[in-house]
Each structure stands twice: as structure tokens, then as C-alpha cells.
Amino acid sequence: MIDCLLPSSTSTPCVPIRFVEPGEGNDHLKGLTGAQTAYLEATGFTPSAGRIALLPDAEGGLALVLFGLGAAGDAERTPLAPGKLADGLPAGTYRFDNAPDDSTLAVVAFALSRYRFDTYRGGRDGGTDNSDVKLIVPADVDEADVLRIVEGISLARDLINTPSNDMGPDELEAAARTLAESHGAAVSVTTGEHLLEAGFPMIHAVGRASARQPRLIDISWGDASAPKLTLVGKGVCFDTGGLDLKPAAGMLMMKKDMGGSACVLGLASMIMAAKLPVRLRVLVPAVENAVSANAFRPGDVLESRKGLSVEIGNTDAEGRLVLGDALTLACEEEPDLVIDMATLTGAARVALGPDLPAVFTGDDALAADISRHSDSAHDPVWRLPLWQPYMKMIDSKIADINNAGTGGFAGAITAGLFLSRFVTDTARWVHVDAYCWNQSSRPGRPEGGEAQVIRGLYALIKERYSA
């Protein structure tokens, strides 16, 4: 179990948490002593969203916690809101006295709220904090699945939060190897000049300017006869923009430009831990987009694994290049489903903001399934169109395609259209353009690196490939 969670069989004395909401009359006052009722009245407690009341017993110890869910339709009332309890309670052991809106999501949010990244503050490893606040998991919650979800998200958060001096292509490979070895998966890595020999010219071109060699990390797990599921994650460990150099302010968050790779590794962790009946493949093109004498240039024309020639309209549109080669490889074995994840465009953030990742797919039924599961998991996404008329925006006069759209419009869509050129027509393909960062802390989502979308995708994959 995660340190802050205890199994449902735990018999340790504990404090009950009672979830209350407006409109219940005085139901939340039932069973309280006169002193406790007076305390609530004196403090003006109302069961608004996120409100916590600590009620003492006759000896002054903690007897009961009330947690306000808020009214139906309140924007602050979400299934993740009980995550606020993780940082709002004194040391002790607690259990739910009644059911919140969703017991599983409440437990997940509680554990994810305890996440701390403190590797550089006190020397401890990043991860879920070993807190003195413990929650006994309700009997109707799948403890093992909660553990898989929290560990997968914590892994992704750790990778994203680690600064680029300690999370380059070498370190990302090491993290991938550690994950693979823990689940008995096979790993192969193609590095440096061998990328050219193996047919990955765009991955090589993007990463060749860095002293840290570019590479393609390839993980395989599961029964070879099972349905093939392939995850592809953008692993740009730092992005200067290349010769189209970003301004200083634009580089401050670029340690998270490998967020797509962190997310697919976190999702892979969940899938393998659950032993889902799939043949899983994870592809991570890991590079640093640096500046040196051999950096690729605006106006260059690159060859690709697909055979398409790509004119470089902007060296800061590098993520789609490395994904292009990786997606081509992914589709060569005709998997049942391909999902790529990337912190790909600022345009997606302008359109949808930091909390709502953009999802692209040409499969309407698959899109509906993703939306359904993301809604149920409270892990939101929003579908954007692969609007074919915009393909002309990435036309090139001298090559098959340009990596940067003209006119400044529809940047997230043209990036998705670019990637679509490297996906076979028969592949079920999903492209996720995510921010992978929490601007501020909320229940279950502390400020910093975030594994967006993968809880919803995990639910989708469990349903789609159920044993």
C-alpha cells in the first residue's frame, strides 16, 4: 500500500470522516453531543465544498471529522475534493463514516494529494510523502488498483519534476529500464549514430546538437499473441527551441517537455502492474533540442523513416519530428491501438488552457469511449478535429511536408495533421496534446508536474482489453 493508505482490514483505532452536504437538514448533527453541536454553531460551520470541521470528544481528543461536499452543481464539488483531507487533518488514522460522491476517486485523490517532490530538499526521493495522516481504504474500493494508479502517476510526476540536468536522455532511459525490469519487460535502445543506421533520421537530427546522445527507447511486454497496444511518448528532455531559440521566459518550464514520455511510462506501469492481456509496446524518442554547430536549421529538408521529406519551417517544432519517426515504427506492426502523448503545442493551451488536454482521433467511437472514461475518472480531455482542409497549411514547395504551419492559425490541429501523415490509414490512433503541469495546487493535484489523461486512458484500456 502507499504509505498514507492502510488496507480495509486494518483494526487500528481511527477517527471517522463524515461527508455532509447542504439540503440534508440537520442529518450531519445526528449523534453529536451538545458540546459538539454548540461548537459547530459557534464556528459557523456549513457543509460548503471543502469545509472541514474537527470535533472533539469529552477528553479533548479528536472524535469526528465533518467534510463539506458542497451543493450539487457547485464548481468546487468534484469527486477529487476529498483529497483536501490529506493536508487538512492532524496526524492520525481515519476512515470514511459514509460514502462520498465516489469512494475510489476520493481515496485516489487523498493519496495523490500526499505526493511530494523533495529530492532537492532534504535528500529524500520524490514520491508519495510518508505522512502521519493515514486513511483506511473502504472495503468497496479496489486497493490494488488504487495502488497501481497512484504509483503510475507518482512515477510520471517524479520524471517531469526532475530538472533537466538530472533528467536527460540517459536518465530517461535509466528510468524506463528500471520500470521495464520491475515487470519483466524487454528493452532495446538505439542511440546516437545508430539511429541513422536503424532508419530514424528525424530523431537523430533533432538530438544531434546535444552532448547527450539522442536515442529511441523501445519496451515490449506481454504475450506476443495478445492484442497489440503501442504507447508513444515525446521525450524532449529540454527544448531550447534549437536555432529558432526560445526567449528566456520560454525555457523556464522546458524540463517538462518530456511530459509525454513520463505519461506513457506511468500508464505502462499501471497496465503491466494490472497484468492486462495486451502485448504492450512503449516507444520513447529521447532527445535534447540543443544549439551547436551541427544543429539542424530552418530551411533544412530531413528524410524520415516513413520516406516523407520534411522541410523545417521552425526548429522549435521538434517534438512532432521525433514522434513522426516513432509513430512510423509503431504502425509497422499494425497494432490494434496506438496512443501518442506529447507536450506538443502552445496553441492547445491557448485554446483549452492548462487543465484540459486536447485529444485527436479519426475514430468517432474511440473518441466517445475516451470521453466517457475521462469523465468518469474526472481526468478531463477535449476532442479537437483533424480538420483536413488545414493540411494545406503545412504544405511545402520543396518537400513533401513542412513541420510548421503557416499563418499562425490552428497550431494544435496542424501539429496533429502533421503526425497523421506518419500513421497508417488502418491504425486506430489517438494523439494527446497535454500541458503536464499544475499551475497551482488543488485536491489530488499538487502544483508541479502532472500525469494528465492517463487515469482515463487506463480505464479505457482495462475495458477494451478485459480478460
Q: Are 117 and 37 in contact (CB under 8 A)?
A: no
- The yes-or-no answer on residue 121 being catalytic is no
- The yes-or-no answer on residue 255 being catalytic is no
Q: Among 246, 383, 462, 464, which one carries the catalytic annotation?
A: 246
DSSP per-residue codes, 71-109: -TT-TT--TTGGGGHHHHS-SEEEEESS--S-HHHHHHH
- For residue 129, the SS3 value is coil
Q: Among 51, 228, 320, 349, which one carries the catalytic annotation?
A: 320
Extract the C-alpha cell encoding 77: 464539488
DSSP per-residue codes, 30-66: TT--HHHHHHHHHHT----TT-EEEEE-TTSSEEEEE
Torsion of CA 444, 448, 452, 458, to 10 degrees: -60
Torsion of CA 340, 319, 449, 4, to 10 degrees: 30
Q: Are 264 and 232 in contact (CB under 8 A)?
A: yes
Extract the C-alpha cell encoding 316: 522549435
Among 106, 110, 50, 108, CA closest to 79: 106
Q: Are 228 and 281 in contact (CB under 8 A)?
A: yes
Active-site annotation, residues: 246, 320
